[in-house]
Structure 1
Amino acid sequence: MQAPNPQSPGHPAVDDPLGLLPRVLHRDAMMLIIDKPAGLPVHKGPGGGANLADHLGSLRFGLPRDPELAHRLDKETSGCLVLGRHRKALARLTDLFKANQIDKTYWAVVEGGPQAETGTIDLAMAPRDPKRGWWMKIDPKGQPAVTRFQVLGRGGGLTWLALEPVTGRTHQLRLHCQASGFPILGDPIYGHAPRRGGPGLHLMARAIAIPFDARKPAVTATAPAPGHMQGALAACGWTEA
């Protein structure tokens, strides 16, 4: 369900400094799915600055409480992000994410690429540094981590992949691609991109399917390819619909 424009006649003006309203992909009584912009952190970092959590009031759509994040995406990852609109809905969404019952498809453009057209990456992971829990390494004694991949296109030394995380570990897709010999283009942590001035992380949460109510079809949403990925995607055969 596409949300009506709250800025249209009959709706009061809404303060939306981050431009989130046009990025709503789905809205119902239980949840919102938005297209999170690349470069926007979901939570406030130690250095402060703009973040999504501080601006969720613009997405109330008449409810008395702000929606809340049901999961997270990395700062540099764009695409489908799910918000619960009230506590009961948020609890249900949280349980579904923890149980890995939500189907998530990511798009990535990687340097090089796998030889096979489809496959599974099964490499356990653990933190590289206990003081930085987000910085991960491959570790046979770590937590199980499984990613399915499918090649969608190739060109110019790059490969366009659809990635499906079976598990949901921190930086799983980024580390799995790097450890498999095809780091994600623009990744400054696990790839070859510089810390500043690189092409931007070429990873997006493309689509999601949420079986919120077993009696109804899954709630689905698809996010558009972000601008910084479109050139590399086009080199691999992608054409904008």
Structure 2
Amino acid sequence: MSVVQITVTEDENEIRLDRWFRRHYPHLTQGALQKLCRTGQVRVDGKRADTSTRLLPGQAVRVPPIPQAAKPAPAPVPVVDERDVKEMTRMVVYRDDHVIVLNKPSGLPVQGGPGITRHVDGLLDALRFGSEHRPRLVHRIDRDTSGLLLLARTPGVAAKLAAAFRTRDVRKLYWAVVIGRPTPPDGVIDLPLARLGAGPGSLTIAAQRDEDDAAHALTEYATRDSAGRKMSWLELSPMTGRMHQLRVHCEALGTPILGDPKYGVEVPHPDGFAERLHLHARALELPHPAGGRLVVAAELPPHMRETFKALGFTAGATPAAVRR
């Protein structure tokens, strides 16, 4: 065993030193690493460092002799059904070395749960495209919501994107068909929300600001078109990320989303329209992990295209993804 110098990679940008060691030397305990740092045996670019030091690409980490633990056999890459590969590949609307963006169909859950055996997370091995890494989810959308779902292709990218969502540096835009026409036609919904119950049957409800479990929730909305006072096409931009936020906020406007099985059920469903949730994650704008910003859009699902046609709404062509 001897001292080695390991260069920090692009995928490890801004990772903490202790997490970097966890990736490269998973058997080394936190206490042992702290001792190595305290005694100056671990250095970054020749300088002493502590476990919370953030690393940058190109820096050299000095690693003293560390006894090697027996390495477990690498987990075999799961064999993915060819039909799943085709289905998942069809969903891809953008892909590069860092991210994959899907246009998820309505009705497909993002993650598993009670009674759910088929979901996006369970099919991500179909999207390796030769990479050693399995893609990772960095956010979620509801089972019945269609549209854009962002995946990270490496652990480092996943950390960057998760931070972008936490700091609200990701702009999300949704399209919805609602029953009725909101008054005023444009504005901001500032209505706190709270969870009622737990598990698959839980609901999100409007809350009073002074309630202990009330969570701040803001949604910008704009009416893009309307069919009289019967139905409207809304553009929704959530400024916070609460469960079912858009669905509850639309109900609070007095214009529940068409086909919503949980919210606004007291409003009769109009005849001749699909009884499926008409909520679509239309566009994402986010900081690209390699620099610049990525803007991606997703075509409407079939049931919403039919509703748009019946109501005379014109969505226009879906713009190609662009990184600028």
Q: TM-score by structure 2 length?
A: 0.65
Aligned residue in 1 for 2:301: 226
Aligned residue in 2 for 1:122: 190
**In 2 relative to 1, CA 182–42 (structure 1 residues): closer, same or farther, beyond 3 Å?**
same
Q: Which moved more, 1:67-76 or 1:20-29?
A: 20-29
Aligned residue in 2 for 1:147: 219
Q: Who wins on radius of gyration, i.e. which is larger?
A: 2
In the alignment, is residue 94 of structure 1 matched against residue 181 of structure 2? no
Residue identity matched to 2:275: P
Higher RCO, 1 or 2 (CA under 8 Å, sep at least 6)? Answer: 1
User: Equivalents in 2 of 1:184, 1:48: separation in Å?
Assistant: 24
User: Equivalents in 2 of 1:133, 1:145: separation in Å?
Assistant: 21
Q: Which runs of 4+ in 1 moved over 6 A?
A: none
Aligned residue in 1 for 2:82: 15
Aligned residue in 1 for 2:235: 162
**Structure 2 portions without partners, runs of 5+:** 1-79, 318-324
Q: Percent identity?
A: 37
| 2:254 maps to which of 181, 193, 196 | 181
In the alignment, is residue 25 of structure 1 matched against residue 93 of structure 2? yes
Q: Given that residues 176 and 279 in structure 2 are in contact (C-alpha distance below 8 angstroms), is that contact kept between their aligned partners in structure 1?
A: yes
Q: Given that residues 96 and 102 in structure 1 are in contact (C-alpha distance below 8 angstroms), is that contact kept between their aligned partners in structure 2?
A: yes
| Count of paired positions | 226
Aligned residue in 1 for 2:108: 40
1:134 to partner: Cα distance = 4.4
Residue identity matched to 1:109: V
SS of equivalent to 1:57:
helix
Aligned residue in 2 for 1:9: none
Residue identity matched to 1:227: P
1:21 to partner: Cα distance = 0.5
SS of equivalent to 1:20:
helix
**In 2 relative to 1, CA 16–91 (structure 1 residues): closer, same or farther, beyond 3 Å?**
farther
1:236 to partner: Cα distance = 4.7
Q: How does 1:55-70 map to 2 (within 5 A)?
A: 55-70=123-138
**CA-to-aligned-CA distance 1:124-167 (integer Å, 9 cap, x gap):** 00112256684111112301000000111101610000000000
Q: Given that residues 174 and 280 in structure 2 are in contact (C-alpha distance below 8 angstroms), is that contact kept between their aligned partners in structure 1?
A: yes
Q: Which has the higher strand share?
A: 1
**In 2 relative to 1, CA 49–133 (structure 1 residues): closer, same or farther, beyond 3 Å?**
closer
Q: Given that residues 208 and 220 in structure 1 are in contact (C-alpha distance below 8 angstroms), is that contact kept between their aligned partners in structure 2?
A: yes
User: Equivalents in 2 of 1:135, 1:26: separation in Å?
Assistant: 33
